Chains A and B, each alone.
Chain A
C-alpha cells in the first residue's frame, strides 16, 4: 500500500497500465537543469566497460556484458487548479552479467569507479558459480559478432527536458480548466518524460551508445452526480510515444476524425491535449446518464487506441518465447501457443490477421537500434494470414527454435535489473483494400464501437480475456445511434482473432502504447507500442458490468 499516495497523485491509480508502479521510482531526485547536463563521455564509458569485462574474464567468465546506464525522468502532476508535484530524477549505475560454464550471474553497483565495477564483476561471477551447482540446463548463447563502436538515437525534434517546466505546467493547467469548463468535477493530469542513456559493451567486441526518448501526456477526468452518488471517468486518448515534446504540438494532418455520430478524434504522431481534455469533460458528464448496455452477442468495431491493448495481451504476450517455454510460469504465466501447438498449423486468426514485430517502428516507445544484449534490432512476421509463423526471442533462446541469431528482444528497465526477454512492438497490419471507419460501420447490423483502453484481464495461458474501454457507441443497421455504458467483452484469443472480419486501411493506422508492461521476478517494467487500424470482429460476447452495492 505504500506507493499508493504517490501513484494516486497522478490520477493513474486505476489507469496506470500493467503495474502499479512508475519508472524511476526511487531514483535520485535532481534539479531539472541536471537533466540537460551531459553524462560521462563515450571514451570514459569505454574505459569503465573494459574494466568490467576484464575483471569478469579474469574471475572465470566465458562471456560478459556490461551496461552503464543513466536514466533520466521527469514527471509533472497537476489536479484541477493546482500543481501537485514536479519530479526530476536521475539514476546512474552499472549492471554486469556473466556466463560461467553455462550459468548466468548478475550484479550491479551505483558506485561508478573502476574498482567498484571490478568488484561487482567478481560478485556476478561468484553468484554464477554458486548457482552452477544446482543448474540443470546450461545456457546456450546464439553467436553475435561485435559491432565495434556504434551509436543510435531516437529521432526526436525537441528534447522534452529542454522545454521550461512553466510551459508544461501552464499546458496541463489549461487542459484542466477546459475539462472543468466542459462539465468535469475533477481532473488529474500527468506528463511523463523519459530519457535512457545506455552504454552497452560485451566480450563479443561491441561498444554501443544509445540515447532513447519517450513521452506520455495523460489525464483522468471524473464527473460526479452528488444526488445519486454516481461517478464516471474518462481517460485521455493519448498514447505513450517514442517522440520528443513535438508530440504535444497539435497537427490536423496527424488527426483522424472518429466515426460519424461520435465527437471523437484519433491521434497519430501529434496529440491535442486541450481538445481531448475538453471533450473528456463533456463525455464524462454524459456518461452519468448514458444507457446501460444489454448483454449479448455484438459485432465489435475497435478503434486502434483500444485494440492495441487487446493485441498486447492476446498476441504480444503469448508469443514471448520465455513464456512459451515456461520461464514465466510462476509469475506472468505460460502460453497456449506452444511449439507443439505451432507445429499443428492451427489458425491463430482469420486470413485478415497479419501481425508483425518491429523494434524500429518510428514513433513507437519500443524503438531502439540495439537491444540490451547488443543485438541489432529489426522487423519480422509473427502471424501471416492468420497462421503463427514466429515468436519473440533473445540470444539464449534462439537455438530452441533452430534459429541462429536473436531477434533483439532483450531489455532491462534499469542498470540495476538483469536484462531478459521483453515484448517488441507488435502490430496488426492495416487492410490492403481502401476502407474507412464509416464504411466499416455501414456493414454492421448490430454492433458496438469502442474507443480507448479500459479494464483488461487475461488468463495465464492467454486464452480467456475481458476488456472494457473508454467510450462505447451502439451501432444499429449500419449507423452509430448513441453512447452506451457498462460494456465489457469476453472472448478467447483464437475465437476472437478468428472472428476478425476486416481491417481499415493505412490512413486509419495509429499506435497504442504503454510504459508499464510488467514481467519477471523481481518485477520489471517495459515500454511497448502496438499499431493497428480500426478493426471489426463479428459476434463477440458482451457483458453488462453494472452492479449495486449498499
Chain B
C-alpha cells in the first residue's frame, strides 16, 4: 500500500519523463485474499497483491495508453515511452476532450479501514471454518465465499490534476442447503470495515431459510404482490441505473429515449415515492470521490419523487450536447422508509416473499424487460404471516414497471456498495414455475 506522498512522488517522476502534449498517470494498488468452501469443506483459497501504473500520453487528438508494474526509473521511463509510441500510431479521436485541470474532491475517509487491510489467511480460514461448523451442527450443507481487498488509487496529470484515496472491502456470501437438497437459503453482505462483519449471523440467516424452505408447494404463476428483499431487488435496480446514460438516451436507444428525439430528463417516469441518489461520502457506503477520468464524484440526485433529474454522461457527450458533465456513480442509494422486511410482511394480505433473484438477463432494452428466477427461499404470505414455502418462479418484469407498481419501501441496507431498501411491489409478473431448489 503506497502512501499519498510515495504514490505522488512516483507519479511526478512519470510526468517528468513525458514529452507528450498531455500526460496522465494513475497508480492502482490492492492486496487481498479469498477462501471458498462447499459441502462444509474448503475448496479453494488464494491471495493476490498487485500495484500497477497506467500512463496515458496524448499528441493533439491522438492518445496512447501503456501500463507496467515495476517502478524503478528505467521501467517508468519505458512505460511513458510506450504510451507515447502508441499515441503517435493511433488515429485522431473525433471525441477528443482535453485532460482535466486541478479539481476539488470531497473527503470520504471512511472508504478505507485498517482492520480490513490487516486480514490474514488464518483469519479467513477461521471465519469460514466457524461458518461451516455451524452448518455441520445443524446437519446442513454450506457453500460460502469470503473475499477481502484493500488498496488505493492515485492520479496526477500534466494539467495539474492530483488525486489520492484509499479503499477497502470485505465480501461474504453463503448458500446453505438441507442434506436432502429440498431446502436452500442464502445470505450476502459487503462492508468497508471488517468490524461490521459477522459470519455466524449471516450463516444463521441462510441456515434458517434453508430449513424453512423445504417441502415447497407449487402455486400458479401469474401476477402477484411481492416483497423483494434487498438481495432480490439490488440487481434489477443496478441494471436500471446502468442504463441511465445520456448518450444512449439521446441517440434513441434507451428506456429514457423520448418519442421524436431527446431524453426523458425532467419527466416523471416512476412512482412519486422513488428517489435515488449517490453520495460517495455516505458513512454506510463510502466510495471514491473521483471517477476514473478524474471528474469529481459528488452527491447527485438521479431520480427525485419519481422524476428523472440527471443522466450520467461522458465528457465528450456533455460538451457536445451542452448538458451537465456528470460521471456514472460508483454506487447508488435508494431512499426508503423505516420498516423492516418483517414489517412489510405484516402489512401484506396476500403475497410472495423473495429472498434472491438469479440469472437475470435483458430481454428487451426498449422497455428494460428482464427475465430471471427466484432462488434460495421463496414464501407465500397470507394475512401478514409467512404461510409456507413455494416453488421457485421465472419472472419477466421491468424495473420501470415495477417502480410504478410500488406499494411500500422498507429500510435500506448496504449491498454491493449500494443502499437498497426491501420493496413491496404489486402485479409482479411470474411466467412459469421452476423445479430448482
Measured between beta carbons, the chain A residues less than 8 angstroms from B141 are 326, 329
Residues 171-187 of chain B, each 1 if its beta carbon lies under 8 Å from chain A, else 0: 00111010001001000
Count of chain B residues near A, Cβ 8 A: 104
Whether A31 contacts B85 in the complex (CB less than 8 A), given A110-B50, A131-B125, A521-B145, comes out as yes
| Closest beta carbon of chain A to B45's beta carbon, Å | 5
Residues 125-153 of chain B, each 1 if its beta carbon lies under 8 Å from chain A, else 0: 11011001100100001011101000000
Q: Could you tell me if A224 and B253 are in contact, using CB atoms closer than 8 angstroms?
A: yes
A500-550 with Cβ < 8 A to chain B: 521-522, 541, 543, 545-550
Whether A457 contacts B46 in the complex (CB less than 8 A), given A31-B86, A464-B436, comes out as no
Tell me the bound Cα distance from A378 to B303 in angstroms. 55
Does B367 interact with chain A (Cβ within 8 Å)? yes
| Closest beta carbon of chain B to A8's beta carbon, Å | 8
Does B301 interact with chain A (Cβ within 8 Å)? no
Q: Could you tell me if B314 and A459 are in contact, using CB atoms closer than 8 angstroms?
A: no
Measured between beta carbons, the chain A residues less than 8 angstroms from B133 are 134
Tell me the bound Cα distance from A83 to B89 in angstroms. 13
Interface centre among A82, A107, A131, A133 (most CB of B within 10 A): A131
Measured between beta carbons, the chain A residues less than 8 angstroms from B428 are none
Measured between beta carbons, the chain B residues less than 8 angstroms from A327 are 38-39, 43, 143
| Closest beta carbon of chain A to B98's beta carbon, Å | 18
Tell me the bound Cα distance from A435 to B436 in angstroms. 36
Q: Could you tell me if B361 and A457 are in contact, using CB atoms closer than 8 angstroms?
A: yes
Tell me the bound Cα distance from A227 to B145 in angstroms. 50
Measured between beta carbons, the chain B residues less than 8 angstroms from A457 are 359-361, 371-373, 394
Tell me the bound Cα distance from A4 to B177 in angstroms. 34
A461-B436, A463-B435 given; 14 more Cβ-contact pairs under 8 Å? A28-B52, A108-B46, A130-B122, A131-B45, A231-B253, A232-B366, A326-B39, A418-B46, A455-B361, A457-B371, A460-B436, A463-B434, A464-B392, A464-B434
Tell me the bound Cα distance from A307 to B274 in angstroms. 41
Q: Could you tell me if B48 and A416 are in contact, using CB atoms closer than 8 angstroms?
A: yes
Tell me the bound Cα distance from A522 to B400 in angstroms. 31
Residues 99-111 of chain A, each 1 if its beta carbon lies under 8 Å from chain B, else 0: 0000111111010
| Closest beta carbon of chain A to B417's beta carbon, Å | 9
Q: Could you tell me if A466 and B394 are in contact, using CB atoms closer than 8 angstroms?
A: yes
Measured between beta carbons, the chain A residues less than 8 angstroms from B258 are 229
Whether A547 contacts B252 in the complex (CB less than 8 A), given A130-B125, A230-B366, A330-B173, comes out as no
Whether A459 contacts B434 in the complex (CB less than 8 A), given A127-B121, A134-B129, A227-B260, comes out as yes
Measured between beta carbons, the chain B residues less than 8 angstroms from A344 are none
Does A72 interact with chain B (Cβ within 8 Å)? no
Residues 71-110 of chain B, each 1 if its beta carbon lies under 8 Å from chain A, else 0: 0000000000011011001110111000000000000000
Choose among B50, B251, B360, B371 the residue that contacts A186 (Cβ–Cβ < 8 A).
B251
Q: Could you tell me if A104 and B242 are in contact, using CB atoms closer than 8 angstroms?
A: no
Measured between beta carbons, the chain B residues less than 8 angstroms from A186 are 251, 253
Q: Could you tell me if B39 and A464 are in contact, using CB atoms closer than 8 angstroms?
A: no
Q: Could you tell me if B143 and A224 are in contact, using CB atoms closer than 8 angstroms?
A: no
**Interface pairs A-B: 10 shortest CB-CB:** A134-B129, A464-B434, A329-B143, A461-B436, A459-B436, A229-B259, A330-B143, A136-B41, A224-B252, A521-B145
